[in-house]
Amino acid sequence: MRALISLIILAFSVQSLAGFDDVIPEKRVVFNPVVSTSARTLPQWQFGYQRAGGANVNSHMLTNALSMGVLPRLEIGTVPMFYATASGSRNYTLKGNFYRGENFDWAASFTETRFRSEVKKEGKVVERPDLVLRSTQLGFNYRPDWNENVTMSPFVTQVCGHIDSTNGLVFVYSLKCEAEYGLDIQYQIKDREWVTLAYGHLREAGLSPYEQMNTGVGVAWSQLRPKEMFSRPSVGVYYTPDTQDTLFLLSTTFFEL
């Protein structure tokens, strides 16, 4: 909770300072990621079901958050899939846009997920500590001058996990961090259609930070349909050759103007 409060204070500070040095493009900027996240936040009171930074828990779907823009550069959300994956779980996501310009945007996001566990001794439950996963991501979107149809989005994510036990030794020995990274390249193929190619070095899907790291590739197709219920549907797939695992992507915004 302290981390959440600190991040909210930071986000409001960023919101108050943002806009003095950056140039906001006049045209609509659309980016539909596979392994990264958009470096822009949703407009205020806009809802979306979109990629969230951090590890994948479900073995079939890439992690998406149901998010809302609460300020012009602040976005909050939650990952519905995690509630169905493990009982007793809870989570939140927070993203702040620090810079937006004609060619370049960058943002920082934070996700915390808690899964309830049990510690038994002689068949009796002696403690119910949380397994905590925290992800901090830096994401960038770059639109080069040499081709206005291209958007490149590199990212890096630190994923840390620990058991939130009253036993300090359990916390120390359970703490582990991994670094995820990758790149999305989006290309506009028609007036309101895009294809995104992805490369990522991500954790395997699982409930702990101790999963193996593997390299994979992905692709997604997206379309813009302003004012429709599903305004920016995006469907895709991400494949990891070493494990032969496949993760699917479904994301959209809702009633986007």
Q: What is the pLDDT along the chain (257 residues), one digit of tens a residue?
A: 555 545 544 454 545 444 445 544 446 789 999 999 999 999 999 999 999 887 677 778 898 999 999 998 999 999 988 887 766 788 999 999 999 998 999 999 999 988 887 777 777 877 888 888 899 999 999 999 999 999 999 999 999 988 888 887 878 888 889 899 999 999 999 999 999 999 999 988 776 667 889 999 999 999 999 999 999 999 999 999 998 999 999 999 999 98
Task: Give the total number of structural domains in the chain.
Answer: 1
> In the numeric block, which tokens belong to residue 180?
């995820």
Nearest-angstrom CA–CA distance, 135 and 99: 21
Nearest-angstrom CA–CA distance, 250 and 243: 22
Nearest-angstrom CA–CA distance, 196 and 186: 4
* Residue 224 domain flag: no
* Residue 162 domain flag: yes
Q: Which residue segment(s) compose the domain that 55 sits in?
A: 2-185
* Residue 194 domain flag: no
* Residue 109 domain flag: yes
* Residue 219 domain flag: no
* Residue 107 domain flag: yes
* Residue 63 domain flag: yes
Q: 137, exposed or middle or buried, with CB in 10 Å at 0-12, 13-18, 19+?
A: buried
* Residue 123 domain flag: yes
Number of H helices, E strands in the chain: 3, 14
